[in-house]
Amino acid sequence: MVVIARKTLIALLCCWFVVSLGYVISLDLYYWKTLPWAPDHLSKRTERIVVSHGSIRYGTGAERNALLLAEEIAAFACLGGLLAGIMNTIYKDF
């Protein structure tokens, strides 16, 4: 029973890592392709957002906050992925 729980935990941590990393990358690329290069006061996209390796775009405060939240979640997911790797190295479940 312990082995099943451990395998489930490792699989969930790996899935969390892959999904959150994919979400951050897709959101970053979406902002890079769609947000304006200069502030646009008509659409209220005046907040400076750094995307895709230092490229500057301008979006709303909500768009900026969404990207920051996704990046913070991905940082914790990286720790989860590292933990899953360590657990698998120790227990050799997969």
pLDDT in tens, the chain (94 residues): 899 999 999 999 999 999 999 999 999 999 999 999 999 999 999 999 999 999 999 999 999 999 999 999 999 999 999 999 999 999 999 8
- Quote the pLDDT of residue 21: 95
- Quote the pLDDT of residue 1: 85
Cα dist from 27 to 37, 56, 80, whole Å:
17, 15, 21
As to burial, measured by CB atoms within 10 angstroms (0-12 exposed, 13-18 middle, 19+ buried), residue 67 is buried
**Residue 36: in which H helix or E strand, if any?**
none
Whole-number Å distance between alpha carbons of 83 and 61 = 33
Please give the structure tokens belonging to residue 46.
């005046």
Please give the structure tokens belonging to residue 74.
């991905």
Do residues 33 and 52 make contact, with C-beta atoms less than 8 angstroms apart? no
